[in-house]
Amino acid sequence: MALHLETPLIESRPLSQASGRSVWLKMDALQPPGSFKIRGIGAACEHHAANGKRRFVSSSGGNAGIAVAYAGRRLSIPVSVFVPETTSDRAKSLIRQEGAEVFVHGASWQEANERALQALDAETAFIHPFDDPLLWTGHATMIDEVVRAEVQFDAVVLSVGGGGLLAGVSEGLDRNGLQHVSIIAAETAGAASLAAAVKAGTPVELPAVTSIATSLGARKVAERAFEITQSRPVDCVVVDDRAAIDACMRFLDDHRVLVEPACGAALAVAYAHAERLAPFERVLVIACGGATATLAQLEAWQAS
């Protein structure tokens, strides 16, 4: 039995009215660990468990770490998660809540990741937060579910951090014969590594991540994510932090679900940048979720 749930697919009246077209939501915010990450990470963990691995190590200051911890608990396999110093106390407590060990190392994810790689041995599997074909194949199941529900769509809106969700959605579209469907890739200013790569014609490293949407905080997007922009229609949309936060608050009112600003970036395309959806009739928005934000934090950001 898969570690992820088949999540609800709902037509959003508020988002449809805001954008002037039919908007459907894939509600992966309702996964048990709080985000879409469990689809791919659960698949990777099951793969490694079946191949005899007896421990999982990951590097993530947020949702990927929570997903690995959840998968490890469900599979009765111990988990160690290496996080940077910038990781919030809430994120660390959510990882520990699932029974995993948390190790804090370095100022950025890159440093935590280097330390995690040093902790590997023959019996340990490394679970990358976004750059692994096992993850992409797992994330692709969300498109399989939409196709099974017989909902037609001509564009997918999703958030991009490291690019794992983009790679998974692209794979899901391909395996369902939907290569023509456009992808609108949303990022926040200060974490827009995909937009920077497209502009430069090659993946480039941002000098720093300055967005509050820390779940989008990969300074360099996965090579696979950049390749996808070269082989299928991908439109990069960069929104500011304020638009992402406002989208989270509106979404909470509209759908009674709290998501973090990383997810708010995709929602902001429909709420505040509807002109980017003008060529399309029926849009699928991936409500990817995120477990590390709280209402109090969103309200504080909105007030600042």
Query: pLDDT tens digits, the chain, 304 residues: what are they?
Result: 899 999 999 999 999 999 999 999 999 999 999 999 999 999 999 999 999 999 999 998 789 999 999 999 999 999 999 998 888 899 999 999 999 999 999 988 889 999 999 999 999 999 999 999 999 999 999 999 999 999 999 999 999 999 999 999 999 999 999 999 999 999 999 889 999 999 999 999 888 888 888 766 778 899 999 999 999 999 999 999 999 999 999 999 999 999 999 999 999 999 999 999 999 999 999 999 999 999 999 999 999 8
What whole-number distance in Å separates Cα of residue 9 and Cα of residue 31?
13
The answer to whether residues 157 and 250 touch, using CB atoms and an 8 Å cutoff, is no
The residue behind tokens 């949702």 is: 63
Name the CATH topology of 9-36+134-303: Rossmann fold (3.40.50)
Which tokens is 200 given? 């430069």
- The pTM of the full predicted model, rounded to 2 decimals, is 0.96
Q: What is the distance, to the nearest Å, from the Cα of residue 237 to the centroid of all Cα atoms in its chain?
A: 16
What pLDDT is recorded for position 216? 67
**Phi, psi (deg, nearest 5) at residue 155:** -155, 150
What whole-number distance in Å separates Cα of residue 63 and Cα of residue 61?
7
Q: Do the domains at 9-36+134-303 and 37-130 have one common CATH topology?
A: yes
Provide the pairing of β-strand 9-11 with 79-83: unpaired
What pLDDT is recorded for position 86? 84
Sequence ranges of the domains in the chain: 9-36+134-303, 37-130
Environment class of residue 304 by beta-carbon count within 10 Å: exposed (0-12), middle (13-18) or buried (19+)? exposed
Name the CATH topology of 37-130: Rossmann fold (3.40.50)
